[in-house]
Amino acid sequence: MPDDKPVLIEAVINGVANPEFNPHVPSNSEEIRDDILACFEAGASMVHNHAGNDAKDPSGLDSYLASWAPVLERFPGAILYPTIGSSGSVGERFGHLSVLAERGMLRVGAIDAGSTNLGVRDEEGVPLPSESVYANSYAYIAEAIAFCHQYELATTFAIFEPTFLHTVIAYHRAGRLPRGSWLKFYFGGAGGYAGSAPRERLMAFGLPPTPKALDAYLEIMEGCDMPWGVSACGADVVGCGIARTALERGGHVHVGLEMYEGERQATNRELVEEVVSLCKEVGRPPLPWNETAEFLGFSKSLTQTDS
């Protein structure tokens, strides 16, 4: 059993899911703002969102500004971060991050440190013959990490497959990662991203949300002290048991409607509250939003909004 170190609860509130999949998925900038506020009130340590469907800028910059400004007025110094583009140059994929950072609203950059196939199965259960590959080359990863150093952004890494983890650990051991960086293990759950296709059609990726799979990742991490958490893609991170296993092994939790698919149509607030309750059962306190930056050891350069 771990000591009573606090649990980082990262709320991920929309992603590619939409209200047709679950009516509680926030879709426009106003709904996203309200959901972010609800998640912080419920006990989230930080929040990640995609832009609203009312965004006019291709990167969603206007939507992020509209959603985040009132949140940061109420929760000054809270950690928020956006999604990044799935293709193109680092400038094209990260351009909106530089604007948000320059305005003192952003302290986190997201990098997926590897490539993988994310697909859908046909009626016979085999992968549809898509040409699409989620490609993140070593050259792109190096440039993205350099970008985060330039803007003094801590970096969050989603681990889709074991090779992603090997890459991040190589940078960590070389002392090349920005301060405050952390990992999330994306377990395949039902197979893929919630809302992107019917659950039974999602093509599995990565490892399943089981203790053995988590232990495999932790074996790769042996000797690496980076904070890590678990996510269950297309599943229920609490209901399937992997959240409890992670908390008992000293990890953190990534939860919300970007990933969740369960027996009910939950709200993001409810999902955060479930993790808060689980933390109390396990005997570890949730990490308060206003202590998250200090806990992770973020750079102090963008703390103008902390006071």
Map out the domains of the chain as residue ranges.
9-116+134-306
Q: Which residues pair with 111 in a beta bridge?
A: 157
Separation between Cα atoms, residue 81 and residue 272, nearest integer Å: 17
* Residue 208: exposure state from Cβ atoms within 10 A (0-12, 13-18, ≥19): middle
- Comparing C-alpha atoms, which of 166, 179, 240 is closest to residue 210? 240
Q: Are 68 and 47 within 8 A, CB to CB?
A: no
Long-range contacts of 278-281 (CB under 8 A, 24+ apart): 278/238, 278/243, 278/244, 278/247, 278/253, 279/7, 279/9, 279/247, 281/244
Average pLDDT score over residue span 141-151? 95
- What is the pLDDT, as a whole number, of residue 305? 39
Average pLDDT score over residue span 180-202? 81
- What is the pLDDT, as a whole number, of residue 195? 67
For residue 130, name the pLDDT band (cuts at 50, 70, 90).
confident
b/e per residue 146-175 (b: at least 16 CB within 10 A): ebbbebbbbbbbbbbbbebbebbbebbeee
Q: Mutual orientation of helices 61-74 and 90-102 as an angle, nearest 10°? A: 30
Tokens 């509250």 correspond to what residue?
273
Which CATH superfamily hosts domain 9-116+134-306?
Aldolase class I (3.20.20.70)
Q: Answer yes or no: pTM beyond 0.85.
A: yes
- What is the pLDDT, as a whole number, of residue 18? 85
Structure tokens belonging to residue 112: 């997926």
